[in-house]
A = this chain, B = another copy of it.
Amino acid sequence: MTNTLTRSIILVTLEQAKRDCILVAAAKAFAQRGFRKASVDEIAKSAGVAKGTVYLACESKEDLFYQAVHREIREWTANAARLIDPRKPADELLLSVAVASLEDVGRRPLVRELLEGKHSELLPQWMPQFEELRILGRKNVVEILELGIAQGRFRGDLDVNEVATLLQDINMSTLIFQRYRTDFDFPRRLRAGIDLVLNGLRLPNQKGTIPSL
């Protein structure tokens, strides 16, 4: 009993390590050479295994790609989540986590390419799954927002998910348009954007909803 348990744990551990190794190699290859040009054999060799072993970790090349992306994004999100210290002021977290996330994504070419809309030939079919990953990333923002409300710093009358989506979009834009602009100081841009969202554009005495439309 204990033996089989130990064994299965060891097995899972070994399998998981190899699995990770394969997915990392896949992520690197797909990012460097694109989905089509990266070959499964090349990925296998880069991971130090034979091709057959790769197919113990995935169903198909598409599945491999998706798993590699999924893993990168989960790691990315988890890194960000680790920064959310509930003792810190939520408004400060909003900025520091965003900056860290964008820096992190710079080190993840595969994620970055996806967010920037490369691999667009594959995107349509996978959009549902990627939307799922977006929701994953949004959970961090929602957490910070709810923290801010609990801290009495943020308004409680807003739809937290709505606001989170908007902030996520701002971060995306910052990321996407960054590459097209010269002399682009993205922490500064982020700071300006989040500062604006925090304090609002209206003069204090003018607060209220938009009059009409």
Contacts and interface: CB of A to CB of B under 8 A. Distances in A.
B154 A202 contact: yes
B153 A196 contact: no
A5 interface: no
A180 B95 CA distance: 27
B177 A195 contact: no
A78 interface: no
A197 B196 contact: yes
A194 B210 contact: yes
Classify the interface of chain A: helix, strand, loop or mixed.
helix
A169 B174 contact: yes
Total copies of the chain? 2
Nearest to A197: B201
B199 A207 contact: yes
Most buried by B among A89, A194, A203, A213: A203
A210 B117 contact: no
A181 B131 contact: yes
B201 A154 contact: yes
Given A131-B180, A166-B170, A191-B210, A202 B96 contact: no
A86 interface: no
Interface in A145-200: 145, 148, 152-155, 158-159, 162-163, 165-166, 169-170, 172-174, 177, 180-181, 189, 191-200
A203 B155 contact: yes
Contacts of A91: 201-202, 206, 210-211
Interface of A: 89, 91-92, 95-96, 99, 116-118, 120, 127, 130-131, 145, 148, 152-155, 158-159, 162-163, 165-166, 169-170, 172-174, 177, 180-181, 189, 191-204, 206-213
12 contacts: A89-B211, A91-B210, A118-B120, A120-B120, A155-B199, A155-B200, A155-B203, A166-B192, A194-B210, A199-B200, A199-B208, A204-B204
- Across the A-B interface, give the 8 residue pairs with the lowest CB-CB distance, nearest first: A200-B200, A169-B173, A117-B117, A199-B200, A127-B180, A162-B192, A198-B202, A166-B193
